[in-house]
Copies of this chain bind each other. A is one copy, B any other.
Amino acid sequence: MTNTKAYAATAPDSGLAPHGIDRRELRADDVAIEIDYCGVCHTDIHFAHNDWGVTQYPLVPGHEIVGRVTAVGDQVGNYQAGDRVGVGCMVDACRECEACQDGLEQYCLNGMTATYNGQDRHDGSITMGGYSEKVVVSERFVVRIPEKLEMAAAAPLLCAGITTYSPLRHYGVKAGHKVGVIGMGGLGHMGVKFARAMGAEVTIFTRSENKVAEAKNQGAHHVIISTDDQQMADAAETFDFMLDTVPVQHDLNPYLACLKYDGTHILVGLLEPVDPTLNAGNLVLKRRVLAGSLIGGMPETQEVLDFCAEHDVRCDIEMLDINNINDAYEKVQKSQVKYRYVIDMATLKNAA
Q: Indicate if the CB atoms of A291 and B283 lie closer than 8 Å.
A: yes
Q: Indicate if the CB atoms of A280 and B285 lie closer than 8 Å.
A: no
CB closest residue in chain B, given A270: B280
Interface size grouping (class) on chain A? 20 to 34
Q: Indicate if the CB atoms of A273 and B280 lie closer than 8 Å.
A: yes
Q: Out of B99, B268, B280, B292, which one reaches A274, CB within 8 Å?
A: B280
Q: CB of A284 within 8 A of chain B? A: yes
Q: Indicate if the CB atoms of B283 and A267 lie closer than 8 Å.
A: yes
Q: CB of A275 within 8 A of chain B? A: yes
Q: CB of A271 within 8 A of chain B? A: yes
Q: Out of B99, B281, B290, B294, which one reaches A285, CB within 8 Å?
A: B294
Q: CB of A261 within 8 A of chain B? A: yes
CB closest residue in chain B, given A296: B287
Cβ distance A258 to chain B, nearest Cβ, rounded Å: 14
Q: Indicate if the CB atoms of A273 and B277 lie closer than 8 Å.
A: yes
Q: Indicate if the CB atoms of A271 and B281 lie closer than 8 Å.
A: yes
Q: Indicate if the CB atoms of A277 and B280 lie closer than 8 Å.
A: no
Contacts of A277 in B (CB 8 A): 273-275, 277-278
Q: CB of A323 within 8 A of chain B? A: no
Contacts of A286 in B (CB 8 A): 107, 292, 294
Q: CB of A104 within 8 A of chain B? A: yes
Q: Out of B261, B267, B282, which one reaches A280, CB within 8 Å?
A: B267
**A293, B284: Cα distance in complex, Å:** 5
Q: CB of A210 within 8 A of chain B? A: no
Instruction: Identify 16 residue pairs between A and B in the complex whose beta-carbon atoms are under 8 Å apart, listed by A's number.
Output: A104-B261, A109-B261, A267-B283, A267-B284, A273-B277, A273-B278, A274-B274, A274-B277, A277-B278, A284-B292, A285-B292, A285-B294, A286-B292, A287-B291, A287-B293, A289-B290
Residues on A close to B: CB < 8 A? 99, 104, 107, 109, 170, 237, 261-262, 267-268, 270-275, 277-294
